[in-house]
Structure 1
Amino acid sequence: MPNTRRMLVLRAVVEDYIRSREPVGSGSLTRNHQLGVSSATVRNDMAALESEGYLVQPHTSAGRIPTQKGYRYFVDRLATIVPLSAAQRRGINAFLSGSVNLEDTLQHAARLLAQITGQIAVVASPSLASSNLRRAELIGLSRGTVLMVVITDTGRVVQRTLHGPLQEDPNALADLSDQINRQCQDLPLDRAADRCRMLADSLTEGRDKSMLRLVATIFDEMATREQTSGLYMAGTSQLTHSQAVSLGDLGSLLDALEEQVVLMRLMRAQSELSRESNGVSVAIGTETRTPELAHASVVTSGYGHARSRQTDGSEADEPVAFVGSIGPTHMDYPATMSAVRAVASYLTGFLAGGGEP
């Protein structure tokens, strides 16, 4: 662990390398930073940091660049994440407030984050498994066919068609819809299924009983089968043309983006960790446990709030989805972390307002 002065030297090296992408020498550090010591002392500190694994010298006569360990130390010692300015926050609100629905908002959020960071932005839509019921409607279509429309608190709208000897009277379907909503509104979908089964068990045999059992089955399906989310990505083209990543690393990064299941698993896990780290989690290089991201960093934040049932029967507050930025290990960490957190905060507010602009 570096001493206080070495920590300042390391921070200065990381900041200068992020800005210039050129190896940093002791002379430039003493010129550009008020370290209060001579160039020779800084050179000794840099040699010590190299021996401790925080810096590396790519060429004998060149300066030094941070290692993964150096970036990790830098990120962990960021006392606070500098918030975006009021003008930047107003810009985010203005850009995203023009969206017409949840999907449009998430697409806009990905494009905006990519523009701010110059990196690849990934925004996941909330899965139905992490959503609560806002409203359900049963609408008769034809004899033996009923359309079930489910609206969740995360703005998702899902339609399912039910077939069989079902209730057909429009007034009876409206009454049954109202009963379901009175009993199940704001419940997670698995608990809404349980409540519908209880309602069905309280009735004598009939079409309402059959309908409630079918509705419970649909809620169960939505809660257990759709564990994945849709992904909205932006920024691949601009990162390709920015020359911020070598061609070899870019190819590996693009391969990682193709493996969406792996990417989602990584970023979902990181978003859960973000609750304990100023709302943002950073995985650097091999910390991603994804070979294609060995020379990249992933900055992630969860957004939205959902009550989740734990294995011990208790409930915990968890994010419903995530927003993240993927770029080179020499990314501007403070700026990227601020942008990711700001976009996540907007999306959380959007969902709290019912998923409506």
Structure 2
Amino acid sequence: MSTTEERRLEVLRAIVADYIATKEPIGSKSLVERHNLGVSSATVRNDMAVLEAEGYIAQPHTSSGRIPTDKGYREFVDNIAEVKPLSPAERKAIMQFLESGVDLDDVLRRGVRLLAQLTRQVAMVQYPTVSASTVRHLEVVALNPARLLLVVITDTGRVDQRLVDLGAVVDDDDVSALRGMLGKAMDGKRLSAASAAVSSLPETVQGPLRDVLVRVSTVLVETLVEHPEDRLVLGGTANLTRNVGDFGFPGSLRQVLEALEEQVVVLKLLAAAQHPGTVTVQIGEETRVEQMRGTSVVSTGYGVPGAVLGGMGVLGPTRMDYPGTIASVAAVARYIGEVLAER
């Protein structure tokens, strides 16, 4: 990169940083006053003219300063030299807060709340997908002779409890037999494989226990299959209303809020995040969602060693603190993975 190109990149960085901080169009005079660019105001004006011609900045109004375009934000993000790390105190507070979660649901809810508070954006996290989850243990508990409690625990930390009314009376030997058959069919299997194994179990049993097994297996299959409506946790949606003007045109914030209600849209935005430790930034039209063209999505994957469990991140207007947001998303995802790995 030539000296001139490096200087123009510095000018672009300064424009993005100042616009994010002030929300006001940036002029050459203010850039020279605020930043040690080492050149005259005339040179900065010339650099800004080139940046505007190349589509990195734009002039929203006649005689006003310049603001970054989506292309400008992309160039800024691609050239972030280093992301400011969280302080030791911040990292400790995050870890302690997440470790206090009692189960997977609680840990993910806490993670979303943290991200929303740290970034002041909408935070979102995807539940571990069926393809990534394995049955760690199944417990069968007799509440009374005609009712059972089934507890399914997965390697991702999720605990599902289901009640089954048997329509018949069973004794301790029957419960023990059920526990053994179901555990053998399910333990250590991916949820989809466990579901198939459980559904075929009644065919292998004769006598009175068959009808009981039909009822139990029906409930278990329903528990093991994926429910799209349960796959996401969102938090901090109200944060979007703090900066209504950042969404470009009247009604665009309403479109964003409506799109957030569509789980398939949010899951699509998180689909790019498949690698823990790698943060993906989608800016404006890069989201490929018409309602989201005034937003940016900063996302990553979270997981345990050897397995990506899902995606998580934040969504906000394109005018966002990218370095700080990237650092927060990466940190919370990493610590969620560490907490889940210990369980």
Select the residue among 41, 48, 51 that pairs with 2:50.
48
* 1:311 aligned residue: none
Letter in 2 for 1:337: I
Mean Cα deviation higher: 23-32 or 44-53: 23-32
Structure 1 Cα separation of the partners of residues 170 and 144 of structure 2? 8
Structure 2 Cα separation of the partners of residues 10 and 186 of structure 1? 53
Mean Cα deviation higher: 210-219 or 33-42: 210-219
The 5-angstrom pairing of residues 1-357 of structure 1 reads 3-141=5-143, 146-161=148-163, 168-174=170-176, 176-178=178-180, 180-181=182-183, 184-193=186-195, 205=206, 221-227=222-228, 229-241=230-242, 245=246, 248-267=251-270, 269-272=271-274, 274-275=275-276, 278-305=277-304, 318-354=307-343
Structure 1 pair 204–252 and aligned structure 2 pair: CA distance change class (3 A)? closer
Structure 1 pair 196–211 and aligned structure 2 pair: CA distance change class (3 A)? farther
Structure 1 Cα separation of the partners of residues 208 and 190 of structure 2? 25
Structure 1 pair 48–211 and aligned structure 2 pair: CA distance change class (3 A)? farther
Structure 1 pair 14–130 and aligned structure 2 pair: CA distance change class (3 A)? same
What per-residue deviation string (whole Å, max 9, x for no partner) do you get for residues 291-337 of structure 1?
2211111111221248xxxxxxxxxx552222221111010011111
Give the C-alpha shift of residue 286 in structure 1.
Answer: 1.2
Give the C-alpha shift of residue 117 in structure 1.
Answer: 1.1
Identity %: 44
Letter in 1 for 2:89: A
Mean Cα deviation higher: 165-174 or 320-329: 165-174
Give the C-alpha shift of residue 210 in structure 1.
Answer: 7.8
Structure 2 Cα separation of the partners of residues 244 and 134 of structure 1? 49
> Is the partner of 2:246 in helix, strand or coil?
coil
> Is the partner of 1:62 in helix, strand or coil?
coil
Unmatched runs of 5 consecutive residues or more in structure 1: 307-316
What per-residue deviation string (whole Å, max 9, x for no partner) do you get for residues 98-153 of structure 1?
33333233222222211111111223333445321121022345666544321112
What per-residue deviation string (whole Å, max 9, x for no partner) do you get for residues 49-87 of structure 1?
111111111123222111111111111222443321111
Structure 1 pair 305–212 and aligned structure 2 pair: CA distance change class (3 A)? farther
> Is the partner of 1:108 in helix, strand or coil?
helix
* 1:313 aligned residue: none
> Is the partner of 2:272 in helix, strand or coil?
helix
RMSD of Structure 2 on Structure 1 (CA):
3.3
Structure 2 Cα separation of the partners of residues 19 and 166 of structure 1? 68
> Is the partner of 1:270 in helix, strand or coil?
coil
Unmatched runs of 5 consecutive residues or more in structure 2: none
> Is the partner of 1:320 in helix, strand or coil?
strand
Structure 1 pair 338–211 and aligned structure 2 pair: CA distance change class (3 A)? farther
What per-residue deviation string (whole Å, max 9, x for no partner) do you get for residues 165-207 of structure 1?
9893324533553565467434312233466689889x77567
Letter in 1 for 2:260: L
Letter in 1 for 2:318: T
Number of positions where the alignment pairs a residue of Structure 1 with one of Structure 2: 339
Give the C-alpha shift of residue 228 in structure 1.
Answer: 5.2
Structure 1 pair 143–94 and aligned structure 2 pair: CA distance change class (3 A)? closer
